[in-house]
Amino acid sequence: MFDLKKNNTTPGTELTAGLTTFFTMAYIIVVNPLILSDAGVPFQQGFTATIIATIIGTLFMAVAANYPIAVAPAMGTNVYFAYTVIQAHSGIGYSEAFSALFITGILFFILSLTRLRSMLIRIIPENLKYAITSGIGLFIAFIGLRLSGIIKAHPSNLVGLGNLHSPSVVLALAGLAITLILITLNVPGAIFIGIVLTGIIAMFTGQLSFNKGFVSLPSLPEGLVAYNPVHAISDVIQFSLYPAIFSIILVTIFDTTGTVLGVAKQAGLMQGDKLPRARRTLVADSVGTLFGAIFGTTPTSAYIESASGVAAGGRTGLTSVFVALFFAIAAFFGPMISAISGIAAITSPALVIVGALMLSNVRHIVWDDFDEAFPAFIVILTMPLTSSIATGIAFGFISYPLMKMAKGKWKAVHPLVYIFAVLFVIQLVFFPH
């Protein structure tokens, strides 16, 4: 099934690659439920749903596309879900918000079966794609610093430096330093190992205890969160969640496609500029997104951390099978992971570092042309300052065609971008976050 000989690999190599990828991205089983809990989702629900969505999406990638690429809930859309869709919409709970994610999953799956998804990727200006990822990274890093207490609210300057004598702040800074050193030394799974080592320090300093033990059977306290399309559509209409659906689809399309192509190039899977079985590859994250919404987690995406497994020799879907297996084993360690995630100082360094990695996309932005640079700049700036990914995207899509028209380059902008601009104006005026 996986053509190991054809791809010059062995089961042992694929096992090592799968283990490497797992440890590199395992932080998501701690961080994602933590972010979802801020939206009111019970930790155990988010934890188990995260693992289910990861297993389903990754196995689909393995069997249908035969690629060593793991799929899991994406950093960025989980933040958008918790801090924009839920907290910025009064009167809705996480169950109503998951209705929007369920409809998003259905639409995303349909898009992935057509050429429309690849067309959308082509028409969106490159600078805006890089700016969206970078802005999300800055927003995630800001959240990590705030949760840890390294920065805090300030009465006149909005934000300021936190109390550096606080035990939790000291722990967070120590965890950040440890993880940065591990990353600098190119240690595989540096972020996950950093969380573990910070947790050990927290235990010795009395900040962490495991009162509920270490292992238990996986459970879903809330059962299936969203599964009835009629009810989901009703929630979307009642609470005007159209902008959320649009923004999540937009962000996930860019995130997944860029990650898949990046990992495929590193693994030597590309044939010229084309990726064989590309449509099956793009369907994998949409399948994970659909099932994730049903069980209670945010949209999935291909993970750039898969590149670590490729570097370890992974070349086929068997690597992804092993990744899914390790996530299934992790499902039995819910109490331990819940205790760790309950200490923000342990997990916040991971958010800061993931944010820094995402912000690296700014190097691809064309800064020399102001009509290209400013829309990208305003996206990156407004996401953390408004605590809204959708608002940042909106400002970018409105300013880009406006500046191009002013410069007489209106023909260089695809007609759909103008349509997006009008839609975003309507969103900001009538559906503000």
User: Do 378 and 346 share a structural domain?
Assistant: no
At 2, list the tokens. Answer: 């996986």
pLDDT grade, residue 52 (50/70/90)? very high
User: Do 295 and 385 share a structural domain?
Assistant: no
Would you say residue 281 lies in a domain?
Answer: yes
Choose the weakest-confidence range: 51-60, 255-264, 404-413: 255-264
What is the pLDDT at residue 324? 96
User: Do 73 and 202 share a structural domain?
Assistant: yes
Calculate the CA dihedral of residues 234, 73, 296, 135 and round it to 10 degrees.
-60
The pTM for the full model equals 0.77
The CA-based diameter of the chain, rounded to the nearest angstrom, is: 66
Last residue of a domain, one of 363, 396, 418: 363
Number of domains the chain contains: 2
pLDDT grade, residue 295 (50/70/90)? very high
What is the pLDDT at residue 309? 81
pLDDT grade, residue 263 (50/70/90)? low
User: Do 316 and 286 share a structural domain?
Assistant: yes
Specify the 3-state DSSP secondary structure of 154: strand
State yes or no: pLDDT of 425 exceeds 90: no
User: Do 420 and 273 share a structural domain?
Assistant: no
Last residue of a domain, one of 363, 388, 418: 363
State yes or no: pLDDT of 408 exceeds 80: yes
Report the alpha-carbon angle 28-381-89, nearest 5: 65
Q: Name the burial class of residue 257, with classes exposed (0-12), middle (13-18) and buried (19+) by CB atoms within 10 angstroms of its CB.
A: buried
Chain segment 67-106, per-residue pLDDT in tens: 898 999 987 788 878 887 777 666 788 888 899 899 988 9
State yes or no: pLDDT of 433 exceeds 60: no
Query: What is the C-alpha to C-alpha distance for residues 68 and 306, in angstroms, rounded to an integer?
Result: 7
Choose the weakest-confidence range: 56-70, 168-182, 266-280, 351-365: 266-280
- Angle at which helices 370-386 and 389-406 cross, to 10°: 160
State yes or no: pLDDT of 2 exceeds 90: no
User: Do 99 and 117 share a structural domain?
Assistant: yes
Domain encompassing residue 406: 364-430
User: Do 354 and 278 share a structural domain?
Assistant: yes
Mean pLDDT for 112-125 is 75
User: Do 44 and 99 share a structural domain?
Assistant: yes
User: Do 398 and 349 share a structural domain?
Assistant: no
Chain segment 63-78, per-residue pLDDT in tens: 998 989 899 998 778 8
Would you say residue 54 lies in a domain?
Answer: yes
At 52, list the tokens. Answer: 């289910």
Mean pLDDT of the chain: 85
Phi, psi of 253 (to 5 degrees): -60, -50
Would you say residue 3 lies in a domain?
Answer: no
